[in-house]
Amino acid sequence: MLSGSLRRALAAAVVVVSGTAAVTVTPTAAVADTVNRVVLRDDFSGDSGAAPDAGRWDTDGDRRSSPWLDGDGHLLLGSALRTRKTFGQASGRAEARILVNREDGARRPLGVLGADGRAPDGQVEVLGSDRADGDDFHTYAVDWTPATLTWSLDGREVLRLTLEKDSRPYSFVLIPASGGGYRSSGMVVDAITVTARTTTPTASRSAPAWRAFTAYRTGDLVSQRNVVYRVREPHTSLPGWDPNLVPALFLKV
């Protein structure tokens, strides 16, 4: 049964019973998927003594202590190492399993650099303790949005930075420092993964011509005069309910 508002909308439609030429063109509508996708991953597999993948990493100009692989799936480094790729997506997450002696400072082992190559400015909010021992690996992560950066340690949110401005695109930097600078204390990294919320087009869907006396479901695509519409509400069409006349039932896409 149609609602009162829908009845009023349909009452305003011009009823056309005959004289309308059949629509033979079948346009298509592009369909897009928005999902979390892995945009960078490195498990540091490789021969002992080999350098990390130069396509993924930049030593940030510091050659004092070159990073190397241990041959068992770990990266060993004594100076900062940043991702070569940058990430401009509206939201995402960088996560790394790291062994480092760290009393505090969750954002130091896994740092964030903005488009200008500097750490973003903003208001810091401490959410919990970020102390971690150096006897085992811990999972450091940072989630970003246009307005915030939020660090977590082993699944617990520990620090949030409310940004003064959107600093994207971001790069991420592994920092084996025990203090506020880049002083080396050594770091072992098991793996790093960066995922981002991305929208990608998928195969187009054909939109059959709208027809009277047809049962439509919410989300169905129909076409009329080379324009594609999406059905708003389930209904059985009647003459005169064609999409351009009944916006209560059809959304132009």
Query: What is the reported pLDDT for 30?
Result: 56
Q: Closest by alpha carbon to 170, among 95, 109, 111?
A: 111
- Report domain extents, the chain: 4-27+207-252, 34-200
Calculate mean pLDDT across residues 2-10: 46
User: Are 47 and 32 in contact, with CB atoms under 8 Å apart?
Assistant: no
> Is the preceding omega at residue 169 within 30 degrees of 0, hence cis?
yes
Calculate mean pLDDT across residues 101-117: 82
Task: Determine if residue 127 is left, alpha or beta; phi over 0 gives left, psi from -120 to 50 gives alpha, anything else beta.
Answer: alpha
- For 155-183, what is each residue's pLDDT tens digit? 999 999 999 999 999 999 999 865 444 44
Classify domain 4-27+207-252 by CATH architecture.
Answer: Ribbon (2.10)
Is the per-residue pLDDT at 19 higher than 50? no
d(CA 214, CA 237): 5
CATH of 34-200, one of 2.60.120.200, 3.30.2320.20, 3.30.9.10, 3.30.450.30: 2.60.120.200
What is the average pLDDT value for the chain, to the nearest integer? Answer: 82
Tell me the HSE value of 241 on the side-chain side, using a 13 A CA sphere.
25
Is the per-residue pLDDT at 89 higher than 80? yes
pTM for the predicted model, two decimal places: 0.65
Tell me which H or E stretch contains 4: helix 4-11
Query: What is the reported pLDDT for 135?
Result: 83
